[in-house]
Structure 1
Amino acid sequence: MNTKYIDLISQTYDFPQDEFTLKNNTLNFHDIDLMKLVEEYGAPLKFTYLPKISENINRAKGWFSEAIQKNNYKGTYNYCYCTKSSHFKHVLNEALNNDIHIETSSAFDINIVENLKAEGKINDKTYVICNGFKRDQYIDNISRLINNGHKNCIPIIDNYEEIGLLSEGIDKKFKVGIRIASEEEPKFEFYTSRLGIGYKNIVPFYEKQIKENKKVELKMLHFFINTGIRDNAYYWNELVKCLTVYTKLKKICPTLDSLNIGGGFPIKNSLAFDYDYQYMIDEIVNQINLTCAEADVPVPHIFTEFGSFTVGESGGAIYEILYQKQQNDREKWNMINSSFITTLPDTWAISKRFIMLAINRWNEEYERILLGGLTCDSDDYYNSEQHMNAIYLPKFKKEKPLYIGFFNTGAYQETIGGFGGLQHCLIPSPKHILIDKDEDGNISTKLFSEQQTSKQLLNILGYEH
C-alpha cells in the first residue's frame, strides 16, 4: 500500500520537476539542499534565489522575440519591472543585469531610481514608467528626475489634473502616457477600475489637454487588467477595446507610438500549474497586428510591467512544525514556528495559495492536517492546496523534526507584511538569506537580515530609545 509522502506527491503530480527534486529523502529547490540551509541558518527562514529573476526576465524576452518574428511585427518589445512587487536592492540589481526598464507607483520609487542612477545601474535612456495617482511629493520627484535630464521618464496620466501639475513642475518638454480605466470582470464589486481615464474620455482628454500643449508629447497608451493576462473572453474583449482606442488616438496623434499592456503573467502556484505563455503572447501580438492593419495605422512598440512574474518564483519560506494539536476527532493542527499573517500575508488577506511541500521525511507515512500560525488570531492558518481541498504532510513525530517550505513567495509578501516593522502579536520577522549561483554552478548564500529582536520591536513601540 502506497502510504508514504513521496507516493502521494508522485501519484498526484508530475514529480520531480525542473526546480523541485528529491535527494537523500529531502527536497532540493534549484539544486539547493534545503535541509542544509536549515542546518546552517535555522528556521523560520526566508530566502531569495536571485538567478530565478534573470531566468524569468529572459524567458519573457524570448517569448516576445519569437512572437514578433512569427507575426512579422514591426514594433519593438520593452520589458519593465514593476518595483512595487519587491523594492529590495538585491532584486533590482539582479533584474537590471538584463537590460530592462522600470515601472514606479509612488513618490519614494523615484528616490530609488535616483539611487540606481548614481550607482550606474540605469541611465537616462532607461524607461521609467510612472504609474499611480500622483500628488505633491510624487509630482515633485518626477519633475526633478525629468528636469535633471531623464528624457525617458514617462508619467502615465491617471486623472485630469495631472497634466497641469506636471507642467508646473517640469521646465522642459516631456513625454506622457495615458492609462485606460478598464472595465472590471462582472463578478467584481464595481464596474470600472479607479485607475486611469475611461475609454470614451481618452480622445476628448487628449484633444482638450495635450494636442495643443507644446510642452507635452503623448507617447504611450497604458492598459492593464486587474485579473491578469488570461485566455478568456473578458481579457480578449478588453484588449480589443483598448486597441480600438489606440488606433483612434494614433490617427490624430502622430507622436503616440507605444502600447503598455501592463503586467499580469501568472506564476506557478501548484505542481499542477499549466499556462501556455508563448501562446498568449503570440495571440496578443497577433491581435495588435490585425487591429492596426485594419485601421491602417503603424503597430506600437510593446511595453510590459511584469512584477510577480519577475520576482515571485525566486522567493521561499521554511518553517518548522513545533507541535500537533488534536482539536476534535477529525482535525489535527500542525503549529508552525512563525505566523502566516506576518510572513505570508496574502494567504489570509486574499486566500492566495503557494506551493507547499515537506522539506524532509519524504519516505515516511503522511496524514491530513491543518496548518496554524503562532498569533492568537483565528485567521492565522493555511488549510488547503491550490488543487486539493486539504493539506497532507509526513506524520508528526515529536522526536523527528519536520520542516515545510512555501515556494514562489517572492512578490509583495515583505512589503505587505511590513518588513522591518511591527508584526501582528509581535511575532518577529524571520531571518532572510540571499542565494546566488556563479557561472560554474556553485551556490553561495549570504545573510541579508537577522531575525527581528525584542529590542527592535520595543524601539518602534517607544519603550526603548
Structure 2
Amino acid sequence: MNTKYIDLIDQTYDFPQNEFSLDGSQLNFHDVNLMDLVEKYGAPLKFTYLPKISENIQRSKTWFKTAMEKHNYKGKYNYSYCTKSSHFKHVLEKALENDIHIETSSAFDIDIVERLKKDGKITNDTFVLCNGFKRAQYVTNIARLINNGHLNCLPIIDNYDEVELLSEEIQGDFNIGIRIASEEEPKFEFYTSRLGIGYKNIVPFYEEQIKTNERVNLKMLHFFINTGIKDNAYYWNELLKCLKVYVKLKKICPSLDSLNIGGGFPIKNSLTFDYDYEYMVDEIINQIGLACAEAEVPVPHIFTEFGSFTVGESGGAIYEVLHQKQQNDREKWNMINSSFITTLPDTWAINKRFIMLAVNRWHDEYERVLLGGLTCDSDDYYNSEQNLNAIYLPKFKKEKPLYIGFFHTGAYQETIGGFGGLQHCLIPTPKHILIDRDADGEIISTVFAEQQTSEHLLSILGYKPLEVDSSEEAEVPIHQLSKF
C-alpha cells in the first residue's frame, strides 16, 4: 500500500519538475537544498532565488522574437517590469541586467528610478512608463525626471486633467501614452475599470486636448486586462476592441507608434499548472498584425508590463510545524511558527493558492491536516492545496521536525504584508535570504534582513527601549555573503 508522502505526490502529479526535485527525503528548489537553508539560517524564513528573474525575462523575449519572425512583424518588442510587484533593490537590479524597461505607479517610484540612474542601472535609453492616477507629487516627480533629460519617460494618461497638469511642470516637448479603461469580466461588481479613459472617449480626447497641444506627442496606447492574458473569449474580445481604437487613432495621429498590452502573464501556482505561453504570444502578434494590415496602418512596437511573471516564481517561504492540535474527530491542525496573514497575505485577502510542499521527510507516511498560523485571528489559516480539497503532509511527530515550503510567492507579499513595519499580533517579519549563483554556477546565499526584533517593533509603536547591558553581544550584521 502506498502510504508515503512521496507516493502521494508521484500519483497526483508529474514529479520531479523543472524547479522541484528530491535529494533523498529532502526537497530541492532549482537545485538548492532547502534543508541546507533551514540548517544554516533557521525557520521561518523567506528567500528569493534571483536567477529565476532573468530566466523568465529571457523566456518572454524569446517567445516574442519567435512570433515576430514567424509573422514578419516589423515592430520591436520591449519588456517592462512593473515595480509594484516588488520594489526591492535586489529585484530591480537583477531584472535590469536583462536590458528591460520599467513601469511605475506612484510618486516614490520616481525616486527609485533616480537612484538606479545614479548607480548606472538605468540610462536615458530606458523607457519609464508612468501609470496610475497622478497626484501632485507624482506629477512633480515625473516632470523632474523629464526636465533632467530622461525623455523616454512616458506618462500614461489616466484621466482628462493630467495633460494640463503635466504641461504646467514639464519644460519643452514631451511624450505621453493613453490608458484604455477596459471593460471588466461579467462576474465583476462593476462594468468598466476605474483606470484610464473609455474606448469611445479616447479619439475625442486626443482631438480636443492632445492634437491641439504642440508640446505633447502621443506615442503609446495602453491596454490592460485585470484578469490577465488568458485564452478566453473575454480577453480576445477586449484585445480586438483595443486594436480598433489603435488603428482609428493611428490614422489621425502619426506620432502614435506603440501598443502596450499590459501585464498579466500567469505564474505557476500548482504542480498541475498548464499554460501555453508560446501560443498566446504567437496569437497576440498575429491578431495585431491582421488588424493593422486590414486597416492599412503600420504595426506598433509592442510593450508588455510583467510584474508577477518577472518576480513571482523567484520567491518562497519555509515554516516549521510547531505542534499538532486534534480539535475534533476529523480535523488536525498543524500550527506553523509564523502567520499566513502577515507573511503570505494573499492567502488570506484573496484566497490565493501557492505551491505548497513538504521540505523534508518525503519517505514518511502522510496524513490529512489543516494549517494554522500563530495569530489569534480565526482567519489565519491555510486549508487546501490547489487541485486537492485538503492538505496532506508527512505525519506530525514531535521527535522528527517537519518543515513546509510555499513557493512562487515573490510578488506583492512583502509590500502587502508591510515589510519592515508592524505585523498583526506583532508577529515578526521572518529572516529574508537572497540566493544567487556566481560565475561558476555555485550557489551563494545572502542575508538580506534578519528577523524583526521586539525592540524594532516597539520603537515603531513609540515605546522607549529598556536599558541595554553593554556586555551583551552585538547584533549580527546583515548582508553577510556565504556559500553552502
Instruction: Please name the residue that 2:2 is paired with.
Output: 2
Counterpart in the other structure of 1:307? 307
Which residue number in structure 1 is paired with residue 475 of structure 2?
none
- Distance in 2 between the 1:456 and 1:381 partners? 26
Aligned partner of 2:235 in structure 1 is 235
* 1:98-119 per-position Cα deviation (integer Å, ceiling 9, x unaligned): 0000100000000000000000
Matched, 1:67 2:83: no
TM-score by length of 2: 0.96
- Alignment correspondent of 1:31: 31
1:386 aligned onto 2:386: yes
Matched, 1:320 2:310: no
Question: What's the counterpart of residue 168 of structure 2?
Answer: 168
Matched, 1:102 2:102: yes
Give the partner amino acid of 2:19.
Answer: E
2:86 matched to 1:86? yes
1:259 alignment partner in structure 2:
259
Equivalent position of 1:442 in the other structure: 442
1:153-184 alpha-carbon deviations (Å, 9 max, x no partner): 00000000000000000011000000000000
Match of 1:402 in 2: 402
How far apart are the structure 2 equivalents of 1:27 and 1:163? 53
Aligned position for 1:150: 150
2:220 maps to amino acid = M
Counterparts of 2:389 and 2:285, CA distance in 1: 37
Cα deviation, residue 439, structure 1: 3.1
Separation (CA, whole Å) in 2 of partners of 1:97 and 1:125 = 14
SS in 2 for 1:263: coil
Following superposition of structure 1 onto structure 2, how do residues 287-302 of structure 1 map, counting pairs within 5 Å? 287-302=287-302
Unaligned runs of 5+ in 1: none
Aligned-partner residue type, residue 81 of structure 2: Y
Describe the superposition over 1:377-399 as per-residue Cα deviations: whole angstroms up to 9, x where unpaired: 01100011111111000000011
What amino acid is the match of 2:357? L
CA RMSD of aligned residues (A): 0.5
Equivalent positions of 1:259-278 (< 5 A) are 259-278=259-278
Give SS of 1:267's match: coil
Query: CA separation in 2, counterparts of 1:137 and 1:219?
Result: 24
State the alpha-carbon separation in 1 of the partners of residues 244 and 464 from structure 2: 60
Q: How far is the alpha carbon of 1:24 from its aligned partner?
A: 1.7
Question: What are structure 2's unaligned runs of at least 5 residues?
Answer: 466-484
Q: Which shifted more, 250-259 or 430-439?
A: 430-439
Residue 58 of structure 1 and its aligned partner are, at CA, apart by 0.2
SS at match of 1:316: strand
Shift of 1:281: 0.2
Q: Which residue of 2 is the match for residue 366 of structure 1?
A: 366
State the distance in 2 between where 1:390 and 1:233 align.
32
State the SS of the aligned residue for 1:357. strand
Aligned twin of 2:136: 136
Deviations 1:254-286 (A, max 9, x none): 000000000000000000000000000000000
Quote how far apart the aligned CAs of 1:464 are: 2.0
TM-superposed deviation, 1:315: 0.3
Q: Deviations over 1:183-204 (max 9, x none)?
A: 0000001000000000000000
Structure 1 segment 34-49 matched on structure 2, within 5 A: 34-49=34-49
Deviations 1:191-226 (A, max 9, x none): 000000000000000000000100100000000000
Separation in 1, partners of 2:276, 2:157: 32
Identity %: 81
User: What is the CA–CA distance in structure 1 between the aligned matches of 2:341 and 2:36, rounded to whole Å?
Assistant: 27
C-alpha distance in structure 2 between counterparts of 1:361 and 1:384, whole Å: 20
Please name the residue that 2:481 is paired with. Answer: none
Deviates more, 1:380-389 or 1:316-325: 380-389
The 2-side partners of 1:165 and 1:450 are apart by: 43
| Residue aligning to 1:281 | 281
Structure 2 letter corresponding to 1:38 = V
Give the AA of the match of 1:41. Answer: Y
Over residues 405-445 of structure 1, what are the superposed CA-to-partner deviations in whole Å (9 max), with x where a residue is unaligned?
A: 00000000000000000000000000001000123220010
Letter aligned with residue 194 of structure 1: R
For the residue of structure 1 that corresponds to 2:97, the secondary structure is helix
Deviation at 1:332, TM superposition (A): 0.4
Q: Which amino acid aligns with 2:395?
A: K
Name the residue aligned to 2:455.
455
Of stretches 109-118 and 379-388 in structure 1, the one that deviates more from structure 2 is 379-388
Secondary structure of the structure 1 residue equivalent to 2:36: helix
- What residue is the counterpart of 1:208 in the other structure? 208
C-alpha distance in 1 between matches for 2:251 and 2:439: 49
> In the alignment, which residue of structure 1 is the partner of 2:432?
432
Q: Which residue of 2 aligns with 1:218?
A: 218
Deviations along 1:122-141, whole A, 9 cap, x unmatched?
Answer: 11110000000001000000
4+ long deviations beyond 4 Å: none
What SS is found at the alignment partner of 1:98? coil
